[in-house]
Amino acid sequence: MTNHFAAITCLLFASHVTALPTRFNKNTNDRPIIGILTQIVTDDVMKPYGNTYIPTGYVKYIESGGSRVMPVRVNQDAEYYEDIFQKINGLLLIGGAADLQTSDFARVAKIFFKLALKANDAGDYFPIWGTCMGMQQLSVLVAGENLLSKTTAENEAMPLNLTAEAYLSKMFQDFPAPLMKAITQEPLTANFHNYGLTVQTVLENEKLNNFFTILSTNVADNGAHFVSTIEGKKYPFYGVQWHPEVNRFQWKSDKNFPHSYNAVQLSTLLAQFFVNEGRRSLHQFEDPHEEEKVLIYNYNPVYTANFTAYERVYFF
């Protein structure tokens, strides 16, 4: 009887494995590396520490999703980025302050954007995520021009006005129904921006409207109806005007960082989602020693809570 029960159990388990989603197939990369594009230091109080930086919240956010992190410098030549592109499994464009058309940040983002378009068209999966200014940068790359307007929501936590498309999206497909409801009712998203894309701009611009699906919107202090979450229709490119990383990794008491259970769950699932997208990329370093040398583990963050909005920052 025991053997009979074991056989049934094994049969049920085998059936369950067969039914697993396609993203868990044999071609999945379980050792992903996500590149995070550094920002140029513009604040005088930060300049003594380095020329470029990444707040630790972004690094821990990606690591918490199950990926390693490589800082991608913004002061290298095109050949360097073309080489790195073949070795990492996704790119995160972080928030900050930079000219979205003329800065080094914009230059490097454009290189990766073009490489990712070409790769994905050829069946070589490569995701890109933009947070706050990173999302704005994606919009400039798609539209070929800066279409941002004043949409101030500075230090404000908001719920999201989800569109009907959000419930059919890749980004939110695995979210439990109670959390989806909470997202629309509770202030779970931290906003720190003065500019953004209005809904009207996206709908009226053929390039943006054909490229992105609007998943959520919000209303700015000036009444502007802005786009807060987007997802590529054809390409695995995603953007949020808000900051999911702060829900778990930033704690300044004078900032409206959501830390409720639902806020943490939202951040957790989004990190896992994007890293899971990275697992679909089969890029890799051929030399393990080179791989070890470029990872974020080789750098020590600096405590900056006493002079920036971040607890700690990696400087380069």
HSE-CB of 8 using CA atoms within 13 angstroms: 5
Under a CB-based contact definition with an 8 Å cutoff, are residues 228 and 160 in contact? yes
- The question of whether 243 is a catalytic residue gets the answer yes
Q: Is 190 in a helix, a strand, or coil?
A: strand
Q: What's phi and psi for 152, nearest 5 deg?
A: -65, 125
In whole angstroms, give the CA distance from residue 68 to residue 70.
7
313: CB partners within 8 A, 6+ apart: 46, 49, 53, 54, 55, 56, 301, 302, 304
Q: Is there a catalytic annotation at residue 132?
A: yes
DSSP state of 39: E
Instruction: Pick the closest to residue 208 from 299, 154, 282, 145 (CA basis).
Output: 145
For residues 174 and 269, is the Cβ–Cβ distance under 8 A?
yes
Record the tokens describing residue 59, joined without a space.
């690094």
Q: Residue 220 corresponds to which tokens in the numbers above? A: 């700015």
Q: Using alpha carbons, list the distances in angstroms from residue 119 to 86, 209, 247, 282, 291.
A: 10, 22, 33, 12, 21
- Per annotation, catalytic residue among 4, 10, 16, 132: 132
Task: Please pick, among 193, 243, 259, 283, the residue that the annotation labels catalytic.
Answer: 243
Task: Answer for the pair 312, 304: CB distance below 8 angstroms, yes or no.
Answer: yes
Compute the distance between CA of residue 187 and CA of residue 235 in angstroms, rounded to an integer. Answer: 29
Residues designated catalytic = 132, 243
